[in-house]
Amino acid sequence: MTQEMIYLGYILIAIGAVVAISFMYKKGILKNVAKLNPIAKVLVIVATVGIGGALAGYWAIPSLTTPTQITPIGGGTVLNCATFSITPSVTASNGVLNNAKNLITIPFLANSTGHTVDEGDNTTWVNPVVTFVISPEAYLGADADDLAIIHYEVINPSQTVDSSSGTYYMLTKSSNQWQATWTGDGTHFVSGTSNMLYTANETLTLTLDIDETGMSYTQSTYSPQSLTVRFYNDCSWSQVVDIDFIATEIGALVT
């Protein structure tokens, strides 16, 4: 309890006492009280003042403590607690999506002599393109005109290659930007934010420009090297999709 609330209690008791005594005077109750013995007088007055103070508090406290929506001066962030259903699919390269739709596996062949990579079926390498269909799931109190806000990112764009011969990266970097490119709602590198109506879906496409030279230095077969995609809202919801690159063969390969 704060000091201000204690002061408020004193004020309410005083108000209650005044109201109670005034009521007793108008109804002639004070004349009857005067006839009682001293102990009875004290008990009646204390009870009356207590009841009056309690009633005054009952009427006044709700208006002082009921929360009101306040718009911050200079603006502020309104939390958006919509959650989403995320459906990924691989539209380029030979990636495979698992049944839980939270893992994409992309096999590749690492040419450790020519320092290139090929598709897992021994064809020319194609950069992975992953499409995510995003469906909002409304939270309590939302209506069809409200916007659902979702954030998305590749959380480890600077992930290094599993190599024993130096430091190499899974993604290429150009103009100081890791080439994990989101499209579908503008163009964003690595991370972005989209707004959508609850009655509509959003389709986002992630293109991963793989550093073929770097990946060719992979030293282990069937050992996943992962890039992780995360979707999240402004509250506690998030969903992760891992993209595992697995070298199925390492050596001097011929396409």
Q: How many residues does the chain have?
A: 255
Tokens for 234?
């402004």
Q: Can you give the pLDDT of all 255 residues of the chain as single tens digits?
A: 444 444 445 555 555 555 555 655 565 655 565 565 666 554 445 445 454 444 444 444 444 433 333 333 333 445 578 999 999 999 888 899 999 999 999 999 999 999 999 999 999 999 999 999 999 997 777 777 888 999 999 999 999 999 998 999 999 999 999 999 999 999 999 999 999 998 899 999 999 999 999 999 999 999 999 999 999 999 999 999 999 999 999 987 655
Query: What's the number of CA atoms in the CB half-sphere (13 Å) around residue 248?
Result: 11
Which residues face 231 on adjacent strands? 152, 239
Count of H helices and E strands in the chain?
Answer: 4, 14
In this prediction, residue 93 carries a pLDDT of 85
CA Rg value for the chain:
35
Cα 248 to Cα 101: distance, rounded to the nearest angstrom = 22
- Token pair in block for residue 30: 């004070």
Q: Which domains does the chain have, with CATH numbers?
A: 3-65 (no CATH), 83-251 (2.60.40.10)
CA distance 14 to 91: 76
Integer Cα distance of 189 and 179 in angstroms: 7
Cα–Cα distance for residue pair 161/104, rounded to 1 Å: 18
Q: Are 197 and 138 in contact (CB under 8 A)?
A: no
At a CB cut-off of 8 Å and minimum separation 6, what does 233 contact? 80, 81, 82, 83, 84, 149, 150, 151
Distance, in Å, from the CA atom of 250 to the CA atom of 241, rounded to the nearest integer, reads 26
DSSP 7: H
